A and B are shown apart, each in its own frame.
Chain A
């Protein structure tokens, strides 16, 4: 225990403070004021995962029928519904992937790949947590992720969203050391930002808890229509701020999704209308996570290591 307490610091020293004014101005391709990316979580939850000392996987004794089968709805039904709506309105996905989905349901992964979606890792399963892993164990799940996605899709992952948002104090340094260049785990900004890592080349891209469909439906208890309205309000404000002459330039809006939530039959219609609104507006650069990171690196004078 002494070792872990030694690693715990009141300030995790993730980044330098930077106020949302007088920043170097970011410009997006085509003069767009906001980069919009959609992040479907394509996940596999195990029905009977081993116990982790820090966190229970399911509320009920296994099998937690509603918990498990609700998530399974994504793969059987709602991924396909959600993906079709995204393609219809011209939104590629940047996938937060439980990489074991490549083994369990390669059909879902192949569909996303065929649609031109980008993949980053969300761990092996969303029922395996990183807390308490030693360095070798954490390197093993990162290496597994890189290898598994490459085998399944031909893509080399660049990003990380920790499995079930579980971290260790080493995670950001390790993913950088193993060649990844963006994290989706930090929620401190509406623009891409440098992260203070060992090599200084990792950046954070805004993901979102607040407009995540999980928060919309299970924290804020919104209806499908209310959630679609929240997305439009989020979009309108960030698009306007990104165009302010005295502002900080291009903003980022992420729409993080779970098909088993947004792809339910009572929610997908209003969501489709929100995407239609954003696509038709004209101020949005609709892009994938890696493209947004690359454009930020090209535009920002901030230090961002050898990756610049």
Chain B
């Protein structure tokens, strides 16, 4: 056996990255960030609002949480939609009780189908981030660029029509992008995306787009659905993370803890108390600055 000699050639073996999407930079070598009011840990709560058509698309890939059985998959269609009817209202109540302002990464289809929910979210002072059209709106290389451009435009247009405000932030489904996505988002006027999980503070792409990292390892989907941990274990992990970041912030400057929450996962009756407990504990911490994605990006941008 032998391999093609090209397999042992390394044309991009150089200082920095093997791509030009963003420059190489280690977090601890950057100038310290200071959050408003002398706070040191930004608590960013981001909720995904998802509508899964009962006719799943595998182009370019099937979204996590999508339909699993032969048509019609009533069990997954309704269990996911439970999040939009019931779970999300438990979350809204929990946020109100803790005085938390959250970001809602929202499928455009939610605005079209459930305008009352959007009105309640906006009335409570939360932020809307664009999150594709619906859960068939996945992106990966191979998706024709015109289709991707249209998908991004439709997502932004529909949310703007529903809320009166054009979203400035973007979260891709499963955080999946194509090679074209950063430029298409920039072209569509998006200020920041939340897809790349390589950092714990915002940073700039070469094209000017900002990435606000929404750590997938800290998501309820990863910890509860994938790793099968309990809600209490999730809550304990988040508090451990907060404690660590608060200690680190005292030495290195502002840190950020992103909580990525899914209504049909943490919004269940037997899990919601764990979220209420952790929000109460975190918001009581003297280091905690609860902020929306846009506020965190703005505070960061003002210092860099």
What sequence of 0s and 1s flags, for each residue 166-190 of chain A, a beta carbon within 8 Å of any chain B beta carbon? 0010000000000000000000000
Chain B interface helix/strand/loop/mixed = loop
B28 at the binding interface (Cβ < 8 Å): yes
Do A141 and B8 contact each other (CB < 8 Å), given the known contacts A61-B60, A69-B196? yes
CB of A88 to closest CB in B, whole Å: 12
Do A65 and B15 contact each other (CB < 8 Å), given the known contacts A3-B1, A73-B199, A225-B240? no
Asked if residues A62 and B141 are in contact (CB atoms below 8 Å), the reply is yes
Selecting from A47-55, A204-212, A244-252, the interface stretch reads A47-55
Asked if residues A264 and B217 are in contact (CB atoms below 8 Å), the reply is yes
Task: Provide the bound-state CA to CA distance between A69 and B25, in Å.
Answer: 13
Selecting from A131-139, A232-240, A286-294, A298-306, the interface stretch reads A131-139
Selecting from B71-79, B174-182, B261-269, B292-300, the interface stretch reads B174-182
Do A134 and B198 contact each other (CB < 8 Å), given the known contacts A70-B216, A105-B24? no
Asked if residues B248 and A81 are in contact (CB atoms below 8 Å), the reply is yes
Task: Provide the bound-state CA to CA distance between A168 and B228, in Å.
Answer: 36
Do A76 and B27 contact each other (CB < 8 Å), given the known contacts A50-B7, A133-B1? yes
Asked if residues B177 and A65 are in contact (CB atoms below 8 Å), the reply is yes
Q: A99's closest neighbor in chain B, by CB? A: B13
Asked if residues B216 and A221 are in contact (CB atoms below 8 Å), the reply is no
Task: Provide the bound-state CA to CA distance between A64 and B181, in Å.
Answer: 12
A151 at the binding interface (Cβ < 8 Å): no
Asked if residues B3 and A73 are in contact (CB atoms below 8 Å), the reply is no
Q: Quick one: which of B17, B141, B197, B238 contacts A61, CB cutoff 8 A?
A: B141
Q: A134's closest neighbor in chain B, by CB? A: B2
Extra pairs beyond A76-B24, A128-B8, A132-B2 (9, CB < 8 Å): A50-B4, A63-B141, A70-B198, A104-B14, A104-B24, A134-B2, A222-B227, A224-B237, A264-B241
Question: 10 nearest interchain CB pairs?
Answer: A72-B198, A69-B198, A266-B241, A265-B241, A134-B2, A221-B227, A266-B237, A61-B141, A132-B1, A69-B196
Give 15 CB contacts A-B under 8 Å. A47-B18, A53-B3, A61-B142, A63-B177, A65-B176, A69-B197, A70-B198, A100-B13, A105-B26, A125-B10, A132-B3, A133-B2, A134-B2, A265-B218, A266-B218
